[in-house]
Amino acid sequence: MHIRKLRMAALSLVALMVLSLVFTAMSVLADGPNLLQNPGFEAPFTASIPGKENCLIAEPWLAWYTEGSSDLTSQGYLLAPEYKMSTTQDYPGNRVHGGWLAQQYFHSFGNFQAGVYQVVNNITPGSYLRLTMWVMTWSCDNESKGNCSGAVSGDPSAMHLRIGIDPDGGTDPYAGEIVWTSEVNAYDAWQQLQVEATATGSSVTVFVYSYPDYRSQDNNVYLDDASLVVVAPPATNTPMPTDTPEPSPTSEVTDTPIPTTTPIPSATPIPSATPIPSATALPTATVAKTAAATEVVEAAASATPATAATSMPTQAAATAVPTEQPQEQTLWQKLAANPGIILLVIALVLVIVVLVISLNNRNRRQSYR
């Protein structure tokens, strides 16, 4: 009985873990795949800027910084920071948010204006994008004061840390079109930043910016688990259908008046014998012709406009066919684009199978006893 309860409890716990993973995966897939390369800042780390020492960046991220004049750098202002990987073993053990590594950059007894960036190509112009990233800082004015024990910030410098999206894919961290988050300090604890923007070109660039105010002994920035997803596809402007003009009314046919009967000319009286007049010309056919002509003229004058070809109604303008909206990806299509989640689910299923087999074997051994 005890074994059966233990088995049921274990199965319930694993089932809850599987459901939690599935719901998490579905919520992540709802916004589409992550467009960033190496969003978790994992290996490999390589030199981002040729010739610069101490500049190891998680590929394919790139470093940027603004170095001051010799007069400023000699006083500890606007120095070129060092870039390196942060590991799960680094003291005090919270320098990585997820995975095995994170990106770190820093400078001792100096300040800097610096960050990292990544250009993302093959973006559909007009796409609405969301950038998220986990960030943390550690700033200690002077460790000799004893107020930074445990690698906790003490008398920290304001860090002015933020992330942003350049919707046109530029690489200038000072460009005016970059959409930034508000600035944070994020001392000693991971904080997720989020910003959204509409792509204006076929590429976008994601930036990290920081600027510690003071020349503290420790000014450290940590970055991990970034994400860039399409929240909404480009909006399509569907033209409104044009109004179909109504055909003009056809003029009604008027009745053609019946021509009046032309009176027959009266007979010419026979002249008397004395004197013999010259032969009177018989009435010519002119009168008849004139009557006929008169009839034609009157008929033409009273002809109805219907004798002319009736104008056809104007053809209606072609109605524009609405642009087809992009089809939403199915859950299976989204899972196919994220095979890592499928592998995790399979691994958990295997764990359930192994656990069930193990408990059954234990139950059999107990029954044999």
pLDDT given at position 287: 37
φ/ψ of 216, rounded to 5, equals: -75, 160
Give yes or no for residue 77 having a pLDDT over 80. Answer: yes
- 335: confidence class by pLDDT, cuts 50, 70, 90: low
Could you tell me the sign of the dihedral formed by the alpha carbons of 24, 127, 118, 158, in that order?
Answer: negative
Q: Which two tokens stand for residue 236?
A: 């399509």
Give yes or no for residue 153 having a pLDDT over 90. Answer: yes
- 282: confidence class by pLDDT, cuts 50, 70, 90: very low
Q: Round to whole Å and give the CA distance between 86 and 139.
A: 16
pLDDT given at position 71: 97
Give yes or no for residue 271 having a pLDDT over 80. Answer: no
pLDDT given at position 13: 47
- 159: confidence class by pLDDT, cuts 50, 70, 90: very high
Q: Round to whole Å and give the CA distance between 179 and 193.
A: 13
Lowest mean pLDDT among 146-155, 252-261, 294-303: 294-303
Lowest mean pLDDT among 227-236, 301-310, 360-369: 301-310
Q: Round to whole Å and give the CA distance between 296 and 175.
A: 87
C-beta of residue 242 within 8 angstroms of C-beta of residue 222: no
Give yes or no for residue 37 having a pLDDT over 80. Answer: yes
Of 277 and 200, which is predicted with more confidence?
A: 200
Q: Which ranges of 154-269 would DSSP assign to H, the alpha helix?
A: none
Highest mean pLDDT among 11-25, 205-219, 265-279: 205-219
Which of 233, 227, 185 has its CA nearest to residue 206? 227
CATH topology of domain 34-232: Jelly Rolls (2.60.120)
Give yes or no for residue 349 having a pLDDT over 50. Answer: yes
C-beta of residue 147 within 8 angstroms of C-beta of residue 222: no
Of 279 and 228, which is predicted with more confidence?
A: 228
Of 285 and 38, which is predicted with more confidence?
A: 38
Average the pLDDT over 62-87 and give the result: 97
Longest dimension (CA), the chain: 173
φ/ψ of 282, rounded to 5, equals: -65, 150
Taking each helix axis as running N to C, give the angle between helix 339-368 and helix 2-29, from 0 to 180 degrees, rounded to the nearest 10: 180
Number of H helices and E strands in the chain, helices first, is 5, 12
- 66: confidence class by pLDDT, cuts 50, 70, 90: very high
Q: Round to whole Å and give the CA distance between 58 and 42.
A: 6
Tell me the one-letter amino acid at 184. Answer: V
In the chain, where are the structural domains located?
A: 1-30+340-369, 34-232
DSSP 278: P
Q: Round to whole Å and give the CA distance between 45 and 48.
A: 9
**Half-sphere exposure (CA, 13 Å, Cβ side) for 73?**
10
- 94: confidence class by pLDDT, cuts 50, 70, 90: very high
Give yes or no for residue 267 having a pLDDT over 70. Answer: no
Q: List beta partners, residue 187.
A: 137
- Rounded to two decimals, the pTM is 0.61
Could you tell me the sign of the dihedral formed by the alpha carbons of 84, 89, 95, 96, in that order?
Answer: positive
- 354: confidence class by pLDDT, cuts 50, 70, 90: confident
- 35: confidence class by pLDDT, cuts 50, 70, 90: very high
Average the pLDDT over 341-359 and give the result: 77
Give yes or no for residue 319 having a pLDDT over 90. Answer: no
Instruction: Compute the C-alpha angle 269/273/279, nearest 5°.
Output: 60
Q: Round to whole Å and give the CA distance between 280 and 277.
A: 8
Average the pLDDT over 308-329 and give the result: 39
pLDDT given at position 344: 75
Q: Summarize pLDDT for 182-236 with one digit per residue, the tens.
A: 999 999 999 999 999 999 999 999 999 999 999 999 999 999 999 999 999 887 7
Q: Give the DSSP letter string of 207-231.
A: EEEB--SS--SEEEEEEEEEEEEEE
Average the pLDDT over 66-86 and give the result: 97
